[in-house]
């Protein structure tokens, strides 16, 4: 469950598990990879990166829970903010005060989202899987530039193409 604990215990016994360490290094680099691809999609769609509005759906470590321990979404928020991007968080399992006190991000409900330039679906909460692509289309500032970053591949790529989304999935 905790690879860092496994690595620590293995090293105490004189073993150096390069496979586990390499896996951790890959996992640690994923937020940067997601942000780079989000920024690339913004640029490809001629959306100004600075002050772009990016909605992040999901903050928790696992779907349908309020546990944020080990969540890499916080890293995504920080990297987007460093790039001058406005981040708006939607997570039905988290209280807004918790987010606002820790990170420079706005908290919203899905119903309140508007003028979005890109959406990152980071956690596959059941509520997010049930969102219609037509309803999601209404959230975008420019209805012809609907950028969707589907980290957990919860949507069907053919459906996304049919509704005119420019999407990327991990």
pLDDT per position as a tens digit, 42-66: 999 999 999 999 999 999 999 999 9
Residue 170 confidence (pLDDT) above 90: no
Q: What is the mean pLDDT of residues 148-155?
A: 96
Would you state the pLDDT for residue 1? 55
More confident call, 99 vs 157 = 157
More confident call, 77 vs 101 = 77
Residue 151 confidence (pLDDT) above 80: yes
* Mean pLDDT over the full length of the chain: 90
CA distances from 63 to 17, 60, 140 (A): 29, 7, 24
Residue 15 CA to residue 93 CA, distance in Å, equals 40
Q: How confident is the model at residue 117 (pLDDT cuts 50, 70, 90)?
A: very high
Residue 104 confidence (pLDDT) above 70: no
Q: Per the structure block, which two tokens stand in for 100?
A: 């606002």
More confident call, 97 vs 31 = 31
Residue 128 near residue 89 (C-beta atoms within 8 A): no
Which residues is 56 bridged to in the sheet? 89, 120
Residue 136 CA to residue 108 CA, distance in Å, equals 15
Residue 56 near residue 76 (C-beta atoms within 8 A): yes
Tell me which residue of 58, 30, 35 sits closest to 131, measured CA to CA: 58
| Percent residues over pLDDT 90 in the chain | 70
More confident call, 131 vs 13 = 131
Residue 168 confidence (pLDDT) above 90: yes
Residue 128 CA to residue 115 CA, distance in Å, equals 19
Tell me which residue of 50, 49, 67 sits closest to 58, measured CA to CA: 67
What SS3 string covers the chain? Answer: CCHHHHHHHHHHCCCCCHHHHHHHHHHHHHHHHHHHHHHHHHHHCCCCCCCCEEEEECCCCCCCCCCCCCCCHHHHHHHHHHCCCEEEEECCCCCHHHHHHHCCCEECCHHHCCCECEEEECCCCHHHHCCCHHHHHCCECCCCCEEEEECCCCCCHHHHHHCCEEEEEC
């Amino acid at each position: 469950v905790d690879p860092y604990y496994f690595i620590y215990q293995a090293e105490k016994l004189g073993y150096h598990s390069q496979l586990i360490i390499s896996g951790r290094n890959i996992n640690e680099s994923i937020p940067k990879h997601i942000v780079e691809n989000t920024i690339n999609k913004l640029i490809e769609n001629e959306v100004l990166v600075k002050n772009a509005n990016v909605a992040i759906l999901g903050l928790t470590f696992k779907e349908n829970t309020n546990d944020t321990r080990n969540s890499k979404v916080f890293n995504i928020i920080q990297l987007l903010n460093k790039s001058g991007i406005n981040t708006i968080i939607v997570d039905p399992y988290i209280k807004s005060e918790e987010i606002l006190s820790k990170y420079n991000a706005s908290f919203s409900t899905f119903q309140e989202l508007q003028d979005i330039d890109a959406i990152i679906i980071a956690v596959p909460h059941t509520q997010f899987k049930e969102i219609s692509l037509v309803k999601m289309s209404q959230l975008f500032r420019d209805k012809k530039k609907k950028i969707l970053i589907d980290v957990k591949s919860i949507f069907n790529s053919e459906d996304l193409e049919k509704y005119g989304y420019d999407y990327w999935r991990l």
